Structure 1
Amino acid sequence: MKYAFGILFLFLTACSNSESNSSDMNTLLFSIRQERDIYDRSDYGEPPQFAIWLEDKITASVQTVFVTYRTGTGDFVGKVECPVSLPAWIGVFRKETGRNDLPTVRKPAANAVTGATPKVPEFSVKAKVKAGSEWNYFVEVNVSGDYNEVFPSIKYYGDLDTQGNGQPSIIYKGDITANPGTRSTPRLIGRTEQLYLSTEINPDLEGIKNAGDVFSKIVVTCIEGVNENKGETIN
């Protein structure tokens, strides 16, 4: 079944200070295009799980901007948990919260940063940050069941991919200064592991094939001021 073309806008507040007012803040706009024909060819045909987070260049503090609902709440169909969904973000979540576990239905990530996986081809996520602040930003994405010869359902030594992971999550990284008009495109820097939870980013991209095509565009732009619109879909 074909789906309506559109752009989904999500507004989330990141790294804001309660003492800051709107005149001190700018908006980082993450514009992403996803390719449905890529994830449709996976064993499950489900849209990707993904997360976006910021890292302060000065303090190295991290802040989640967005994480898809299932990973952010642990509410997976047919699974108690799925630690290999977005493992790098799990490391960020633990650093942010001081926890050493995974998000669960009873103890999820903050509602302010979780949302349903967009099903439109293009969507944007907005983060409010202090004007002039400097950031590294990361985008992690994972499609389940996208097996190939390097990441099969059964490894050559007999271990099973019990989580249905396939190619593991991949991570993009870029940097941007929150001055109006600045623009940035990230680069693919690595992946996580197929069969087990590791929050470390592995730079070995051998075997990462169509997983790298799921997000065909990621562009981050700084916009002056803030837009308090919580979100809309434009068809």
Structure 2
Amino acid sequence: MKMTILSVLISVCMFVLQSCEKEDLSFESGDIEIEIKTGDHWLHDFPLFLGLTKKNPPQFVIWLEDTSENYISTVFATYKIATEGWKLNDGNRRKESLPHWCHQRGVVYEDDLFIPTKNHPLTDGITGATPNENKTIKITPVNLKKPFVIKAEFNHSVDFNNYYPKNAKKGDNNYSGGEMGSGQPAVVYSATIYPETKNTVLVLIGHSSSDGSDGDIYQDTQTLTTAKTIVKSINVIINK
């Protein structure tokens, strides 16, 4: 896959327990503002032990492509996907977590998977903890030619439903990584930014491979339930 080199200055508000307020960021002409509004299923019950659960936000990545689907640059990635920071995964590298981004990025690691490792994580400047509430990301692009595409991919762990059960067997069409895997596959959103674009909304274009075996987009989302309500909206504002 052809890799396009881009110099992008990224300014991201990092989160630990609270989301960044929009007024904490200042925007200048040419800046791109990405506003993620959380949906009803942004926080998901993750099982711990003895019947206890923890409210977990999703893992997600935002990146840029050209209009021929060539990867340009990642602008934000949550900590777990960027550093292999999974817990209770029992050695599972979670290739099914965000496979469309992984394959579009096209970096193959020592175990022949496309997902970053502890030894080779993403750059710190583009990673951060997942916010529990709405999030605003600021991008200051340098020499980025329009049109280009903004994509975002979101996924919860153990987000099972009737079609993607935890007992699905490896090799089945609905296998999603086993008991501590994804359950429902990652959902992918996209928007094309043209020279005249002032604001737009990323739209749901489908879901990723449920087992992470490829980087394709599957447009039929009828088998998804709660995964479609992780995000309420993703708004993009181009500051002219």
Shared fold by TM > 0.5?
A: yes
Contact 1:42 1:143 in 2 (8 A): no
Correspondent of 2:164 among 151, 175, 182: 151
Correspondent of 2:97 among 58, 65, 85: 85
Q: Distance in 1 between matches of 2:104 and 2:23?
A: 24
Q: Distance in 1 between matches of 2:201 and 2:192?
A: 8
Q: Distance in 2 between matches of 1:184 and 1:208?
A: 25
Superposed displacement of residue 45, structure 1 = 3.1
Superposed displacement of residue 107, structure 1 = 0.4
Bigger helix fraction? 1
Q: Distance in 2 between matches of 1:137 and 1:174?
A: 5
1:22-37 alignment, distance < 5 Å: 26-35=30-39
Q: Specify every segment of 5 or more residues in structure 2 that has no aligned partner in the other structure, as ranges.
A: 1-16, 48-53
Structure 1 residues 26 and 6: CA distance shift in structure 2, 3 A:
closer
Q: Distance in 2 between matches of 1:155 and 1:201?
A: 21
Cα offsets for 1:147-193 (capped at 9, x unmatched): 111111112879672442111101011111356x7101121111112
Q: Which has the higher contact order (CA 8 A, sep 6+)?
A: 1
Superposed displacement of residue 195, structure 1 = 2.9
After superposing on structure 2, the runs of 4+ consecutive aligned residues of structure 1 that deviate more than 4 Å are: 3-6, 8-11, 41-44, 97-100, 156-160
Structure 1 residues 5 and 84: CA distance shift in structure 2, 3 A:
closer
Sequence identity of aligned pairs in percent? 24
The residue identity in structure 1 corresponding to 2:55 is G
The residue identity in structure 2 corresponding to 1:49 is Q
Structure 1 residues 83 and 58: CA distance shift in structure 2, 3 A:
closer
Query: In the alignment, which residue of structure 1 is the partner of 2:80?
Result: 70
Q: Distance in 1 between matches of 2:155 and 2:69?
A: 28
TM-score (norm 1): 0.75
Structure 1 residues 126 and 58: CA distance shift in structure 2, 3 A:
same
Query: In the alignment, which residue of structure 2 is the partner of 1:55?
Result: 65
Q: Distance in 1 between matches of 2:56 and 2:94?
A: 15
Q: Specify every segment of 5 or more residues in structure 1 that has no aligned partner in the other structure, as ranges.
A: 12-22, 225-235
Q: Distance in 2 between matches of 1:174 and 1:214?
A: 18
* Residue 103 (str. 1) matches residue 113 (str. 2): no
Worse-matched range after superposition: 141-150 or 161-170: 161-170
Q: Distance in 1 between matches of 2:22 and 2:213?
A: 31
Query: In the alignment, which residue of structure 1 is the partner of 2:230?
Result: 214
Structure 1 residues 72 and 4: CA distance shift in structure 2, 3 A:
closer
Tell me the number of residue pairs that the alignment of Structure 1 and Structure 2 aligns: 206
